[in-house]
């Protein structure tokens, strides 16, 4: 698998960038890795980087974006925070990735059995975690479900995780004029997906 170059990055559309991630996840699930020489990629990226996508995902140790999408060095920007939400710093990082570094796709990736989502469903309070979990409250408030509204209700937890991905995508468009302009022009795309920690599969349900 070749390292991304300025030329190969420029030739990609947002849809093709998503296809690369989808194909990579299929290889991951099948336990088939693309043939890469990572040390060679270290050498090839020493003068610069041309990632084709920026992936916002949770810090969960089971969800490393480069591995689950079978990507190498220099292929994607990986932004990780518990609960995969956006703030000013993350938006700035995404603006750099797309406007400056040329990435063609933003992915907001949630995952099943998310501890941050369970925490906000249970109204957990603990130091700085309290303020962080408040960022996920809009997703909780937007979800209606039968049964208990806590982490013991797996269906509820998953619906909150799904809604959080959707709202995060909306916030990216609303809070970053830079990214919204690029999205409106079709220069970049945005996709939302959910990683299944039991199967390793990513389901994209919001596509560019």
Per-10-residue mean pLDDT of the chain, 208 residues long, equals 89 97 97 88 90 98 97 96 97 98 98 97 95 95 89 95 98 98 98 98 91
pTM for this model (two decimals): 0.94
Q: How far apart are CA 71 and CA 61, in angstroms?
A: 17
121 is in an annotated binding site: no
56, 90 in Cβ contact below 8 A? yes
What length is written for the chain?
Answer: 208
**CB neighbour list of residue 146: distance below 8 Å, 6 or more residues apart:** 155
Question: Where in the chain are the domains?
Answer: 6-113+164-206
Helix, strand, coil percentages, rounded to 5, for the chain: 45, 15, 40
> Per the CATH hierarchy, to which homologous superfamily does domain 6-113+164-206 belong?
Carbonic anhydrase (3.40.1050.10)
The whole-angstrom separation of Cα 166 and Cα 110 is 10
Known binding residue 206? Answer is: no
């Amino acid at each position: 698998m070749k390292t991304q170059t300025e030329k190969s990055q420029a030739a990609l559309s947002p849809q093709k960038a998503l296809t690369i991630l989808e194909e990579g996840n299929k290889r991951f699930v099948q336990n088939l890795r693309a043939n890469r020489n990572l040390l060679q990629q270290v050498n090839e990226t020493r003068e610069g980087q041309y990632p084709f996508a920026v992936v916002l995902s949770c810090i969960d140790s089971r969800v490393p974006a480069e591995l689950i999408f079978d990507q190498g060095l220099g292929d994607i920007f990986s932004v990780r925070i518990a609960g995969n939400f956006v703030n000013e710093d993350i938006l700035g990082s995404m603006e750099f990735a797309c406007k400056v570094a040329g990435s063609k796709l933003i992915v907001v990736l949630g995952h099943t059995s998310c501890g941050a989502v369970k925490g906000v469903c249970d109204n957990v309070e603990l130091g700085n975690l309290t303020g962080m979990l408040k960022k996920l409250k809009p997703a909780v408030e937007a979800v209606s479900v039968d049964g208990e509204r806590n982490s013991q209700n797996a269906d509820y937890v998953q619906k909150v995780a799904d809604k959080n991905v959707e709202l995060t995508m909306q916030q990216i468009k609303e809070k970053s004029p830079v990214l919204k302009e690029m999205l409106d022009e079709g220069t970049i795309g945005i996709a939302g997906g959910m990683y299944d920690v039991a199967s390793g599969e990513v389901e994209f349900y919001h596509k560019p």
